[in-house]
Structure 1
């Protein structure tokens, strides 16, 4: 069933056409991606589909009572509520229905059970109860917990005011809220911004089992590969549909372009042959009629347009003037942070020529801080950083603080290389899509993508044999990311980079460093190899129970029998404490298992399953409270015994 359909939609800005003849269909339960270059009009089209704006030409038809949820790029919540209270607003209708049920209960208590009015109120009460249950009135809190856990908001966050969160956390919370609303059609514009890899994996699984349809714009190719099943390509101001995920789309588009060029070339050859015949024979009496027939054939021919795509991409390469030594970088027991406040450490690892080493880890762990510490831009809290010999280091800063905000694009590059002729500088800038008057734009007026291209321009100009990159794919469109991947893979030097772009990591990494608060773990291979290695890692063995190592009471000059009796009594008390500790540990482990199950995407959408799990969790918590009380009493008894003896 088709939920939504655009019919020959067009958007103009003055005399300029942004896109035209846009025909798109969203199927029930569809998983659809909209891709295209930056500036192609993807967000503009999403707003039309969401009903926020209207097309200049064409129409958009929707099924009756279609509910649409639209999350704009980097759209965060702005609220005075706590996190829990803000998400709870999604269920305002349920709360009202619950209050209506309580009001009817109070009314029933005042009526004669044999009266007609009592029966009418009871019927209304039964209808409300049934509807309340059907709409998830008994499970909404479990759904809230499951989704908050998935996005990394544990119970300690529930009472945190929304306005006290960071921008990235507000964006995550906005996405959590729209998922709870569960619209028939979910429209997401760059939903993977600000999400670390664990949350991304959870979101991918959640969206796979989402009951509604999904339309998404994203530069995250790994995400698209794992979520979508069809792709609309906004290219050359119009739309083309492909079946499959992102990787399959790329293959199919290349095949389509190849076929289009083949047909175009064949027709051009035929046209040239006909035109040549006409030109040679139109004035000759014996062949005039044949030439006229060929000319009519040309006039009636449905001529194919030259195949065209928005294929304007940056093109560049990194270069080096000398080779480095094999030992490029050694980091030993390094702790990183600010003002003696440790973010992570101790960290120890080595980088060797010509590896491409990717650093991954949770948001806020200090990955960018690590790079700045290695480069001595900020001091280390402790530990050492040792560079190898003959290094020419190039650094890409995701915050683009190395760019001067008041310089023009041309000045930013030319001032570093005043000996180079202007035409050569402009030619280099042209390869990064800074053409014409673009070179006179002031840096602080540039978009994030333009600043990223300018920083790459500067890097490509300088000799480098050790490249250090901090989130280099941020702000780059997919085509530019692919060019950057090629430049890195062709680079003869060594690369150390931080990235959350899993597709990018798969394309370039030879090694992975998984960074945590207390250390860093090395894995060989790319991101998928890292996942495989982690999956094979056995869980850590359970820790031994506390209280196993205790001193024996002093025996003094007691008789042998007295000593044996006391030891036996103490062992009995110790076993009781240990048994209760084991029970507590088992109950806590069972609770953790249930909470993990509740946070799974396929469970978070299964209301019945969530209800059962919540009941089990409540029972386990009650048991834990009872066992903890018994353990406290037993521990006090053991302590008193030791003091007396």
Structure 2
């Protein structure tokens, strides 16, 4: 069933058209991504759909009674409530029911009511009805639901009494999203919901949204997030909208194939046009062939000419090049401690960087990743240890806080002042490759957007020709197109990379290894982000196997020889047992993921079935035979899906039980 339709919508800015004839359908339980480069109009369209603005042309229609939750980009809560009060306000109806329950409980203990059998029975009946409603609306579980969502966003119980006004901007945005999730709207519209989230929170949010019962419409630059959450993509580019089915990776492949097909048709038509025009030019003045030439001319005039496929000429195109090569050992950090004001965030930190490696640094927010980079560069002293650079190493640094820019200069001046011997024409050409053209180069730096500042920083970095690039969140503020260009440039770079990033897709594309930073120090993983996640899962399984083995051996030793447990080495034994059954563990892990996914699917289908059954029980629906029939068809289809999923779950669960 369609929740919302965008029909032939247009938006103008003065005489310019931002987009035109935009069409979009959002079905129940849809998982939709809206993508497009910065400035294409994505946020503008979301505001229209959310009802904050209206189209210049066209219309947006929606199902009667549709509830919409909208989170604008970096939109935080503005409230004087505590965190708990703000989240609890979502359940105001439950609070009222609970208050009514307590009133009735007091009445039931009132002697005047207790001695009046009729009044007592009527009060008891009312109480039972209210209590049933309270239970059906999760009255006994809503507080656990609040705690679960707050914990997912890293708000633990010790901050529940903290005022919302005391939170940072990023925390207020996270809290606004948490509140929206608890409200369970029919359609959730999220504009860059992954901003300010670390990897752990992102992973939790992905899992939560996968089982969200309503529909989702999401704008995000996080391609890994889109791959895991959406199954439809609307591409807003060149003032038009194109719809694709599948996740982000599938969209990229289908769009490339579509553009390739357009070029093929265009080039074929151009060849035909050239051939016809050549014939006309050669034969129009000849008496013997003029009629044939006139016929060709008419054919040309009637031809429905294809537009030249847009080749994304405005995509940035740049590269990084090392002016000279470094030695094989680029950087060594041994047994260091990072932090500030004497407070250690992570220890011991070890890092060995060799020539041509690309190392990603990951870890939760606040663990000291950026501090680690700044300590390596000497901007913040190590609390313990030091960084030793190898022979011939020349470092270039990308600061996520963008402090390397002078707000008083123009874009052109920012580069030319650092390279005064370079001709202005060459400076302008380089800026053009980073999408600073025409009057853009005369803009003051303070007037640039976050994305423009990021591109200017990358321009400066590219001109330095360093052989060791240290990058702190380089994809922040960049649109997807610019991120992909940056990935290509870094993969082609003939130097060495060390970077901090929360962009998991970017890490997968660029990194040759991953270093995790934690309070216990650093740990190296020799692969991309997906490899890192798999190894973390394996480590968890090893720990679980060791703990299980330890418990078994302790129990066994206690039953035979009370002193034997003291000499056991359960961790070593657990490790050996794990290694001996490594293949079995992989199969088990795969089955566990399959079973978990099927369980999530069953939960979603159960929720959908319950929702339909609730609708069918509504008086206005039960009196409408046509609507009842439609709902019954939907319910039948879901029932078939439930049976199929349950059958598959049973088979997979039995296979998993055999491995256990």
Q: TM-score range by the shorter chain?
A: 0.7 to 0.9
The SS at the match of 2:234 is: strand
Kept in 2, the 8 Å contact 1:206–1:602? The answer is no
1:149 to 148, 151, 166: 151
1:231 to 230, 233, 237: 233
Aligned to 1:12: 12
Please list the CA deviations of residues 329-357 of structure 1 after superposition, one character each: whole Å capped at 9, or x if unmatched: 11122112222222222212211112111
Paired with 1:302 and 1:107, the residues of 2 have a C-alpha distance of 81
2:496 to 494, 497, 500: 494
Aligned to 1:24: 24
1:539 aligns with 2:543: yes
1:350 aligns with 2:352: yes
Aligned to 2:54: 54
The SS at the match of 2:336 is: strand
Aligned to 2:485: 483
Kept in 2, the 8 Å contact 1:225–1:246? The answer is yes
Kept in 2, the 8 Å contact 1:235–1:310? The answer is no
1:78 aligns with 2:78: yes
Paired with 2:600 and 2:374, the residues of 1 have a C-alpha distance of 40
1:37 aligns with 2:37: yes
Greater RCO (CA < 8 Å, at least 6 residues apart): 1
Q: Tell me how far 1:133 sits from its aligned partner.
A: 2.1
Say if 1:177 and 1:309 are closer, same or farther in 2 by CA, change over 3 A.
farther
Paired with 1:319 and 1:372, the residues of 2 have a C-alpha distance of 23
Paired with 2:506 and 2:125, the residues of 1 have a C-alpha distance of 60
Aligned to 1:431: 433
Q: Tell me how far 1:328 sits from its aligned partner.
A: 0.9
Say if 1:47 and 1:309 are closer, same or farther in 2 by CA, change over 3 A.
farther
Q: Tell me how far 1:130 sits from its aligned partner.
A: 3.0
1:133 aligns with 2:135: yes
The SS at the match of 2:543 is: coil
The SS at the match of 1:460 is: helix
Q: Tell me how far 1:169 sits from its aligned partner.
A: 1.7
Say if 1:425 and 1:498 are closer, same or farther in 2 by CA, change over 3 A.
same
1:529 aligns with 2:531: yes
Kept in 2, the 8 Å contact 1:409–1:454? The answer is yes
Say if 1:311 and 1:96 are closer, same or farther in 2 by CA, change over 3 A.
farther
The SS at the match of 1:406 is: coil
Q: Tell me how far 1:78 sits from its aligned partner.
A: 2.1
Please list the CA deviations of residues 164-209 of structure 1 after superposition, one character each: whole Å capped at 9, or x if unmatched: 2222222211111110001111111111111111111111111111
Which is helix-richer, 1 or 2?
Answer: 2
Paired with 1:318 and 1:447, the residues of 2 have a C-alpha distance of 23
Aligned to 2:270: 268
TM-score (norm 1): 0.82
Q: Tell me how far 1:286 sits from its aligned partner.
A: 4.1
Paired with 1:384 and 1:257, the residues of 2 have a C-alpha distance of 51
Q: Tell me how far 1:126 sits from its aligned partner.
A: 4.2
Please list the CA deviations of residues 364-420 of structure 1 after superposition, one character each: whole Å capped at 9, or x if unmatched: 111111111111112221212111111111111111111111111111101111111
Give the aligned length: 558
Paired with 1:3 and 1:466, the residues of 2 have a C-alpha distance of 52
Supply the RMSD in Å over aligned alpha carbons.
Answer: 2.7
Q: Tell me how far 1:292 sits from its aligned partner.
A: 3.5
Q: Tell me how far 1:103 sits from its aligned partner.
A: 3.5
Kept in 2, the 8 Å contact 1:205–1:602? The answer is no
Aligned to 2:92: 92
Aligned to 1:589: none
The SS at the match of 1:136 is: coil
2:249 to 227, 247, 250: 247
Aligned to 1:375: 377
Matching of residues 113-512 of structure 1 within 5 Å: 124-308=126-310, 310-512=312-514
The SS at the match of 1:468 is: strand
> Which structure has the greater CA radius of gyration?
1
1:66 aligns with 2:70: no
The SS at the match of 2:158 is: helix
Kept in 2, the 8 Å contact 1:235–1:309? The answer is no
Paired with 1:307 and 1:212, the residues of 2 have a C-alpha distance of 37
Structure 1, unaligned runs of 5 or more: 546-570, 572-600, 610-645
Paired with 2:65 and 2:543, the residues of 1 have a C-alpha distance of 48
Kept in 2, the 8 Å contact 1:76–1:167? The answer is yes
Kept in 2, the 8 Å contact 1:334–1:381? The answer is yes
Structure 2, unaligned runs of 5 or more: 552-561, 563-598, 608-660
Q: Tell me how far 1:156 sits from its aligned partner.
A: 1.7
